[in-house]
Amino acid sequence: MILRPLLALLLCATSAAAHPHLFIDSGLSPVFDDEGRLAGVRVVWVYDELYSLMMLEDYGLDPDGDGALTKEEAAGFAGFDQKPEEGFTGTTRAYLGEAELPLGPPVLPLVVLSEGRLASSHVRRFETPVAADAGAVEIRTFDPTYYAAFSLSLPPRPEGRSDCETGKVAADVEAANSVLEAVLKELQGTDFDDDDFPEVGERYADTLRVTCAAPS
């Protein structure tokens, strides 16, 4: 499980270039309703080989070592990374302009094992669907604590509409490093609880920008 030993590493770092300990390839796919409104987003996280192996061993999965999960294993394991009480910290946020758009809890979890890597997916629905002509919606998936680094490397696969523009906006890593360095300076010499570590992870997150026109 993710226990966030990153804090000690960060506090001992001589620069803001401290590295995360987990690397995740991510994908964000907009989901539209029957009225053409942006109703949610499908989130995909693909874990690296080492972490996938650790999770398989921890949960006693794939005991025959054939590199695949049975239907029963996959069904029982789906949603494993949606349990914050066990240390998982990945999340997703969406914005319309400066306003954050409320998202419902993760639903429809799935998990597969392919080429030694665990891939999980789930859907986050908007509490209120966004009208097609409301403006660009920006969506990010990330770990607030930056224990895990999410790279938006999987192409979007829109569901329900195919006429919207989707584009990736890469994170400004230099600016994020500056913020992290300032946070570290503030924390030096303090009696700090790592559970209250400031959320710097979103600054390192790539963004999916979704722009639609009103359906004709």
Domain that holds residue 145: 6-211
Q: What is the pLDDT of residue 216?
A: 63
Q: What is the pTM of this model?
A: 0.85
Q: Please give the Cα distance from 135 to 121 (Å, whole number).
A: 26
User: What is the distance, to the nearest Å, from the Cα of residue 169 to the centroid of all Cα atoms in its chain?
Assistant: 15
Instruction: Please say if the pLDDT value at position 192 is more than 90.
Output: no
Q: In the chain, what percentage of residues exceed pLDDT 70?
A: 85
Convert 108-175 into a string of H (helix), E (strand) and C (coil): EEEEEEECCEEEEEEEEEEEEEECCCCCCEEEEEECCCCCEEEECCCCCCCECCCCCEEEEECCCHHH
Question: Average model confidence (pLDDT) for the chain?
Answer: 86
Least confident range from 34-43, 145-154, 203-212: namely: 145-154
Q: Is residue 96 part of a domain?
A: yes
Structural domain total, the chain: 1
For residue 17, what pLDDT is reported? 41
CA distance 157 to 23: 22
Tell me the C-alpha to C-alpha distance, in Å, between residue 164 and each of 19, 34, 146, 198, 200: 35, 15, 31, 35, 30
**Residues 24-45: pLDDT tens digits?**
999 999 999 999 999 999 999 9
Structure confidence at residue 19 as a pLDDT band (50, 70, 90): low
Give the pLDDT score at 2.
40
Amino acid letter, 9: L
Average pLDDT over residues 154-160: 96
The answer to whether residue 216 sits within a structural domain is no
Q: Of 153, 80, 82, give the one whose Cα is nearest residue 112.
A: 80
User: Pick the residue with more confidence: 143 or 14?
Assistant: 143
| pLDDT digits 0-9 by tens, 75-97 | 999 999 987 777 677 899 999 99
Please report the pLDDT score of residue 82 as a whole number. 87
120 domain-assigned? yes
Nearest in space to 30 (alpha carbons), one of 83, 110, 94, 91? 94
pLDDT at position 184 is: 78
The string of pLDDT tens digits covering residues 101-122 is 999 999 999 999 999 999 999 9
**Domain presence at residue 85:** yes
> Quick check: is 1 in a domain?
no
Domain-embedded: residue 29: yes
Please give the full DSSP string across 40-98, using - where no structure is assigned. Answer: EEEEEEEE-HHHHHHHHHHHT--TT-SS---HHHHHHHTTTT--GGGT---EEEEEETT
Asked whether residue 68 is assigned to any structural domain, the reply reads yes
More confident residue, 139 or 2: 139
Helix (H), strand (E) at residue 13: none
Residue 11: pLDDT over 70: no
